A and B are shown apart, each in its own frame.
Chain A
Amino acid sequence: MSNRLNMRAALIGLLMFFAIWQTLAWLIHQPIMPSPFQVLPIFAGSLFGELGVHFLASAGRVLAAIALAVVTAVPIGLGLGQIPRANRIFAPLIAIVYPIPKIVFLPVIYVLMGITDISKIFLIALIIFFQILVVVRDEAANLHPELILSVRSLGAGRRALFRYVYFPASLPAVLTALRVSVGTAIAVLFIAEQSLTTYGLGYYIVIETYQVLRYPQMYAGILAMSLLGLALYFVIYNLELKVNRYRAEEQN
């Protein structure tokens, strides 16, 4: 966590990214590879218009899914981590379901939950849910029993233990799991948004632009989706740095 990305590095990265893009545009020289100079004005112009609406729709779905996954996976993970008997019963099931690419359940979820936003949010939440469940369970199980006992001796019941011990103890792991799974979540969102909705970046990129050959606009959509992933990644990354401060200080 020490190699914190600074502004200068971010700028250099961006410049390299656009330089390679421009080079490819010259080399390929086809409508499918427009130059950034063509795309960026469209991106800037439509971000506060049509594109922005799609961006907000996608961002809303991801954030709702993250919230849903966190509020369900954290308590269940803590429960499993604290109660070894329950964990022994459910561990094999979790081990089997965990690696299944959840997107294969897309049709099932559509049929069972309807074609509303809820089914899309549920699908993404499902992916994040298992990532968080597993790390929270392991963190809770690895806490020293002496720590729990000594905090209980201070008068802490279940609620205070959750608030002052289990939750802060698992928070760094929750954030790491989120940061790692947010990429997959957005990839799945992209696929889920290609049907049964008229809002979202997946819809915008495939239906509104790609299928009608509006390539520069399509790239504006791609940029917006990249921005969504990047923003989420860095927000989570900075939260991680914050909650891991006590570890960083130890090294100084």
Chain B
Amino acid sequence: MIIIKDLTFAYSGQPPIFQGYRLEIGRGEALSIIGPSGCGKTTLLYLLAGLRRPQSGSIIVDQKPVSRPRPRSGLVLQDHGLLPWQTVRENARLGLTIWGFYGSDGRHAPVDEKISFHEADQRVDAWLAKLGIESLRDQYPLQLSRGQRQRTAIARTLAMQPDLLLMDEPFSALDAPTREELQKFIIDLHDSSDLTYVIVTHDIEVAVVMGKKILVLEKGCHQKARMIDNACAGFAAGRRQNEFQKTCEDVRQLLGSLT
């Protein structure tokens, strides 16, 4: 699904964060990226999203090099992603509205999918219902809790039926029950489709729950990918608590040894 080849990236006037970096992420993968703040994990996610461009090397998603945001990649950020002057429903529809604005041009919107105004409304309402916020659809983001806002942002992204979901600290600002519910929601969605997702987090437990593979980033310049296979991702019933704690401890130690 994703192939990163010899990636080099630096912010202007600063030493490179990635140099000759290589990484492959298979289709249907569930990947967590963890590391201390300032380690470049958000930068890596933005590179995957096509919001930043590498100085050299290439990022290939679904066999095509990424040079701009691709219609089938969805992005969910921690906060500030909703338009305050639009209702929940209008916000959740925004991606489809933008597709309609450009038409199916293959650059901004997928060529293979034409969606009518009415279908777009129905699809958005269906996602609002699945996320349990259909009753809030005429409210404005300022009237909502953080969790409700994040549900809206997730509905907006999923309404575009992405095959790749990129998330940057999507659950960090949420209370524990909401966090767990939304984590479950994404994991179930992943398990019932061929969705690939990448989640960036600084929280070890979130990384272990969400990632079947965990990519560990340290501070400084990254040259080689450090990946951990994680057997105890998800919320499977009767999860072996000890094993989960042990994996968390492993990740913690690896992070500690790197900084």
Number of interface residues of B (CB under 8 A): 39
User: For A144, A153, A169, A249, which residue has the most chain B Cβ atoms within 10 angstroms?
Assistant: A153
9 A-B Cβ contacts within 8 A?
A: A147-B81, A150-B77, A150-B80, A156-B98, A157-B102, A157-B107, A160-B102, A247-B142, A250-B140
Q: B51 an interface residue at 8 Å Cβ cutoff?
A: yes
Q: B117 an interface residue at 8 Å Cβ cutoff?
A: no
Q: Determine the residue in chain A with the shortest Cβ distance to B96.
A: A154
- In A123-178, the 8 Å CB interface with B consists of 144, 146-147, 149-157, 159-160, 163-165, 168-169
Chain A residues within 8 Å of B, Cβ to Cβ: 144, 146-147, 149-157, 159-160, 163-165, 168-169, 243, 246-247, 249-250
Question: A153-B69, A249-B140 known; A146 and B83 CB under 8 Å?
Answer: no
A150 touches B75 (CB 8 A): yes
Name the A residues within 8 Å of B7 (CB-CB).
none
A146 touches B108 (CB 8 A): no
Name the A residues within 8 Å of B76 (CB-CB).
150
A246 touches B84 (CB 8 A): yes
A152 touches B142 (CB 8 A): no
Q: B74 an interface residue at 8 Å Cβ cutoff?
A: yes
B153-186 contact mask (Cβ, 8 Å, vs A): 1 or 0 = 1001100100000100000000000000000000
Q: B109 an interface residue at 8 Å Cβ cutoff?
A: yes
A61 to chain B, nearest CB (A): 32
B80 touches A146 (CB 8 A): yes
Chain B residues within 8 Å of A, Cβ to Cβ: 46, 49-51, 69, 71, 73-86, 94-95, 97-99, 101-102, 107-109, 139-140, 142-143, 153, 156-157, 160, 166
Q: Determine the residue in chain A with the shortest Cβ distance to B90.
A: A164
Q: How far is the CA of A168 from the CA of B85 in the complex (A)?
A: 8
Which 8 pairs show the lowest CB-CB distances between chains A and B? A153-B75, A150-B81, A154-B95, A146-B80, A155-B108, A144-B80, A246-B140, A250-B142
Name the B residues within 8 Å of A165 (CB-CB).
83
Name the A residues within 8 Å of B94 (CB-CB).
151, 154, 164
Question: A147-B80, A155-B69, A246-B84 known; A164 and B75 CB under 8 Å?
Answer: no
Q: How far is the CA of A78 from the CA of B14 in the complex (A)?
A: 28
B142 touches A155 (CB 8 A): no
Checking A147, A153, A157, A164 against B73 with a beta-carbon cut-off of 8 angstroms, the contacting residue is A153
B98 touches A164 (CB 8 A): yes
B51 touches A153 (CB 8 A): yes
A146 touches B81 (CB 8 A): yes
Q: How far is the CA of A159 from the CA of B105 in the complex (A)?
A: 14
Checking B78, B86, B98, B157 against A160 with a beta-carbon cut-off of 8 angstroms, the contacting residue is B98
Checking B69, B83, B102, B153 against A152 with a beta-carbon cut-off of 8 angstroms, the contacting residue is B69
B203 to chain A, nearest CB (A): 19
Q: Determine the residue in chain B with the shortest Cβ distance to A146.
A: B80
A243 touches B77 (CB 8 A): no
